[in-house]
Structure 1
Amino acid sequence: MRETSMPRPRQCRYVAVAPHVTYFKPRGIPMTALEEVRLSVDELEALRLADLEGMTGSEAARCMRVSRHTFGRTLAAARHTVAQALCRGLALRIEGGTYAVADAGAAPASAKENTMQKIAISSEGPTLDDAVDPRFGRAGGFVILALPDMTPQYLDNGASQTMSMGAGIETAERMAREGVQVVLSGYVGPKAFEALTAAGIKVCQNVDGGSVREAVERFVKGELPFADAPNK
C-alpha cells in the first residue's frame, strides 16, 4: 500500500491591518445575478505593498515575512483575481488566507523570535569573520550559535564533502542531531530542504556573499525570510 505524503503547511503571511471593506460589486447588477471571485487578505496586502506603496519585491517580502518567491506568487495571484473581477464584471470578496496582523508598535516578530534560537551558518572557517560557504550539503563546516550568545561553536562537515551522493541529507541529519532550529546558507538542494523541513528546521537561503557575522546580524534584524521551497 503506497503512503501518501502530507501537504506542506502553508507559511503564515503578515499584514499591516485587516481590511475594513471586504466586498466590491458592479453597480446596477443585483447580487443574485452576480458571480464572485475571492481575494485572500494576504493577496490584498501584496497588492497594497507593491502597487500602492510602490515597494520592491524584496522590501514587500520582508514586510510580509516571506521569501521573495512566495511574495511574487502571492502578488501574481492577486493581480489575476482583480483582473478577472474588473474584466468580467464579477463581484470581489476579500476573505481568508493564512495570515496574521503584525503589531505595528512592537519590534518585527522575526527579530523577536530569532533572539532565542539555535542557528547554524554554513561557513568556510570556524570564526564569525569567516565567509559564509555558499553550499549547504557540502559545506566545509558550520558555525553554530545559541542566540543571543555570540560564542561560536564549530561543527566540521568535511566528511560530507567526500560523499558521492546524499551529502545534503546527511548534513541535514547532522543539524538535527545538534538541535539546530534554523540554517543560514547559500544553496540548499531539494532533498536537503525536504530533510530539514521534516526535522522541523527552518531555512534561510541565498545568504552567501558575506561573513558569518554579517549573516547573523541580518538574521537578528529580521532581514532574512524563511524559505518555503528549495533554491531554484
Structure 2
Amino acid sequence: MPRPRHCRYVSAAPSVTYFKPRGIPLRELQEACLCVDELEALRLADAEGLTAQEAARHMRVSRHTFGRTLASARRTVALALTQGMALRIEGGTYAVVADAPREQDSNKEHDTMQKIAISSEGPTLDDMVDPRFGRAGGFVVVTLPEKSVEYIDNGASQTMSMGAGIETAERMSRAGVDVVISGYVGPKAFEALKAAGIKVCQDVEGVSVREAAERFERGELPFAEASNK
C-alpha cells in the first residue's frame, strides 16, 4: 500500500480557483489541476521568497516533502502555460491554519523539549556528532534549560548484526529522551522512536555535539516527518 500523505498546512484557501487562456471557449480547452498545497508551496517559495527550510516549517512538512511539492507545482504551471491549458486549483491533503508556522511558533515546540540525545563519537560536548544513529558509539544527553550533561554508552548496539536501530531507540526511550539528534536514522529506528513519542532531528553531521545542541536551542533543526530512507 502507498504511504498516506501527511497533511500540509496552508495560510488560506485560494480566492481564485480557475485560470484560462483569453479568447478560447472552455469546451475547447484541456485542464491542468494544481492542488491547494502546491499553490501554497509556489506562494512561499516564488512569491514570498522563503528558503526551502523556512517554507517547509510554514507547511509543517520536511524539506524533502516541500521540495517535491514545489517541483510538482512548477511542472503543472509550466504545462498549463506552454500548452495553452486551463488551470484549475483544487484538492490536495491540506488544512487551513491562518497563523501557522511563524518562526517563533516553531521555536516554542523546541522550547518544550527538555532532554535531547545527540549521537556522538565521544562522551563530551566537544566530540563530533556521530552521523549514525543505530550504531553510534554513544549519546551525549543534554537536559535543558540547565544544560546538564550525561553520556549513554551505545556500544552493545554496535556489535549487533541486525536490529541495532530499534535497540538504540529502545535505549533512548528508557532514558526518557524527548529528542534525538543524529545524521542518518533508518526507517525501522524512526518508527520505533516515533512510537515512543521521541522527536527526531536528522541530517546533522560534521559539527560538534555542542554546536548541534546550540543549533537545536536556536530552533534551527526542524523535526523530521520521515526517516532518511
Length-normalised TM-score, structure 1: 0.79
Instruction: Output the CA distance in 1 between the equivalents of 2:161 and 2:101.
Output: 51
Consecutive unaligned residues in structure 2, runs of 5 or more: none
Between stretches 83-92 and 97-106, larger displacement belongs to 97-106
The 5 A counterparts of 1:140-219 are 140-219=137-216
Consecutive unaligned residues in structure 1, runs of 5 or more: none
* Paired residues of 1:61 and 1:71 also in contact (CA < 8 A): yes
Q: 1:105 to 1:79 in 2, by over 3 A?
A: closer
Instruction: Output the CA distance in 2 between the equivalents of 1:74 and 1:131.
Output: 34
Offset of residue 107 of structure 1: 4.6
Instruction: Output the CA distance in 2 between the equivalents of 1:150 and 1:176.
Output: 20
Q: 1:208 to 1:85 in 2, by over 3 A?
A: same
Instruction: Output the CA distance in 2 between the equivalents of 1:205 and 1:215.
Output: 11
The aligned residue for residue 119 of structure 1 is: 116
- Asked if residue 90 in structure 1 is aligned to residue 125 in structure 2, the reply is no
Instruction: Output the CA distance in 1 between the equivalents of 2:102 and 2:70.
Output: 26
Between stretches 48-57 and 64-73, larger displacement belongs to 48-57
Q: Give the secondary structure class of the aligned counterpart of 1:108.
A: helix
Q: 1:201 to 1:7 in 2, by over 3 A?
A: farther
Q: 1:59 to 1:179 in 2, by over 3 A?
A: same
Instruction: Output the CA distance in 2 between the equivalents of 1:20 and 1:223.
Output: 33
The aligned residue for residue 217 of structure 2 is: 220
1:22 to 12, 17, 23: 17
2:41 to 21, 46, 51: 46
- Read off the aligned partner of 1:71 and give its amino acid letter: F
Offset of residue 56 of structure 1: 4.9
Q: Give the secondary structure class of the aligned counterpart of 2:148.
A: coil
Instruction: Output the CA distance in 2 between the equivalents of 1:215 and 1:96.
Output: 35
Instruction: Output the CA distance in 1 between the equivalents of 2:206 and 2:110.
Output: 21
* Paired residues of 1:26 and 1:91 also in contact (CA < 8 A): no
Percent identity, aligned pairs only? 69
